[in-house]
Chains A and B, each alone.
Chain A
Amino acid sequence: MTAFQKRAGDGEGLRILVSLLLGLSLAILPLPSWAAAARPDWVALLVVYWSLAVPRRFGIGSAWLAGLALDTLTGTLLGQHALGLTLVAFICLKFHLRIRVFPIWQQAMTVFMLLTVNQFVLFWVEGLAGAGQIPAVRWLPVVTGTLLWPLVAQLLGVIRSRRRSR
């Protein structure tokens, strides 16, 4: 997989940080209401990518911090997204050697599963905190996230390999 090529880690931390800041901004960028429901979980996609690509650099602690930032930004219960993303990062780190070499469609299926886990944690917490019925349309971010995964992975792969060739 070109998307996950190994490289020496100069400037990797900065790139992870910038991409996460961008993902967090996209998470709160105002969208028209019909599109807002389908907004993919950018931060979750980034957590999946980075924990697969640089498991030594991006651990579940980083995922937890990213989740905490997302919680603060979106005004949800503190720790809600953090818990979901921690779980996602854990699965990724546990199986990163296997997932990295999957063909792209199989990878997308894995991402689908990971995003479902993440969304499930969010719903579960909301249910415990007393939210009412959760409409089916709230699963939409899982679908859009899966569809966007090949694009995100290729894009981040290109960004990483360009720096290396210099």
Chain B
Amino acid sequence: MTALRNSPAKPLFQRGPSLGTRLFLLTLLSLALMVLDHREGHLDRIRQVLSYAVYPIRAIVDLPFSLSEWAGRNLEERADLIAENQSLRREQLENSARLQRLAALESENTRLRALMESSARVGDRVLVAEIMAIDLDPFRQKIILNKGERDGVFSGQALLDANGILGQITRTDPMSSEALLISDASHAVPVEVNRNGLRSIAVGTGDIGSLSLPFLPNNADIQKGDLLVSSGLGGTFPRGYPVAVVSSVARDLGEPFARVAAVPNAALGSIREVLLVFPGDSESDGRPEAAGPDQ
């Protein structure tokens, strides 16, 4: 016995727990992790530590894409830049003209709301974030953003692009965060029809170009081309942002509900920059320090 144990050659039989025991233990560990992770929130600390550990991999994969973008910005032709500058100037002029009108409308709106004694909330504070060029599960619509807890991002925060609502933050790490798009099959946005205020819920289909509204009765006043805006019910999404445009309404008299499909306004598949909305006062303009990250 002792002679065998002291021999310098590799042991004939493995020491430590046997392969079967180790498999059993690791399986138990995996199952425990999955159960805890499925019941949200138990593993947030562990996730954070792990995502620190894998952050270099994400950064390296993202690097060529951000580099090429950076190079593209820095090596652009002067003429191109001048042309772009001009068109932006023109756009800015148009926008500011529109804004003047908006200012008048906004003050009028505030006055009217004051008359009705309800709170007004026009203009939310936003933070620009970039999507990291990383593929997650191809059958879930999730994205990784390059802003995290350190920038005041919090779980449940609404995500916009220039045209409408994109999704919401589902998990935050110190340096990055994960967001679920509105087209994911497990996502739903409370919406209302802009034309008449009819409320409903827009559910993702898993297809990046369509949402469905499964809870509208056959006689609901909704038609093709209606704009759906967020209703602000539920508290996650700010009120009044465009979500989708109704693309088809099928009324089958044998069914209790109409089949309504809508196309998201935001460019879900082709965006790089997104806006994170901080709910609350519109007075503090655009400073992340003013945000309340410790909620």
* Interface, chain A (partner B; CB < 8 A): 21, 24-25, 28-31, 33, 36-37, 39, 56, 59-61, 64, 67-69, 72-80, 82-83, 86-87, 90, 93-94, 125, 129, 132, 135, 138
Closest residue of chain A to B56, judged by CB?
A21
Query: Does B54 lie within 8 Å of A24, measured CB to CB?
Result: yes
- Bound form: Cα–Cα A120–B22 in Å: 21
Query: Does A76 lie within 8 Å of B26, measured CB to CB?
Result: no
- Bound form: Cα–Cα A58–B47 in Å: 25
Q: Mark B122-137, 1 if CB is under 8 A from A, else 0.
A: 0000000000011111
With A60-B26, A83-B30 known to touch, is A29 a contact of B135 (CB < 8 Å)? Answer: yes
Query: Does B139 lie within 8 Å of A135, measured CB to CB?
Result: yes
Closest residue of chain A to B134, judged by CB?
A28
Looking at the assembled complex, report how far the CB atom of A87 sits from the nearest CB atom of chain B, in whole angstroms. 8
Which 4 residue pairs across A and B have the least CB separation, nearest first?
Answer: A79-B33, A83-B30, A79-B30, A36-B138
In the complex, B142 has a CB within 8 A of chain A: yes
Query: Does B38 lie within 8 Å of A129, measured CB to CB?
Result: yes
In the complex, B61 has a CB within 8 A of chain A: yes
Q: Is the interface of A mostly helix, strand, loop or mixed?
A: helix
Query: Does A83 lie within 8 Å of B178, measured CB to CB?
Result: no
In the complex, B57 has a CB within 8 A of chain A: yes
With A33-B138, A75-B137, A138-B139 known to touch, is A69 a contact of B22 (CB < 8 Å)? Answer: no
With A86-B23, A135-B139 known to touch, is A79 a contact of B57 (CB < 8 Å)? Answer: no
- Bound form: Cα–Cα A80–B29 in Å: 11
Looking at the assembled complex, report how far the CB atom of B229 sits from the nearest CB atom of chain A, in whole angstroms. 28
Closest residue of chain B to A86, judged by CB?
B26
Interface residues of B in 180-234 (CB under 8 A from A): 185, 206
- Bound form: Cα–Cα A154–B105 in Å: 70
- Bound form: Cα–Cα A17–B61 in Å: 17
Residue from the list A24, A64, A94 in contact with B26, Cβ < 8 A = A64
With A60-B23, A69-B53 known to touch, is A125 a contact of B34 (CB < 8 Å)? Answer: yes
Residues in B neighbouring A56, C-beta threshold 8 A: 10
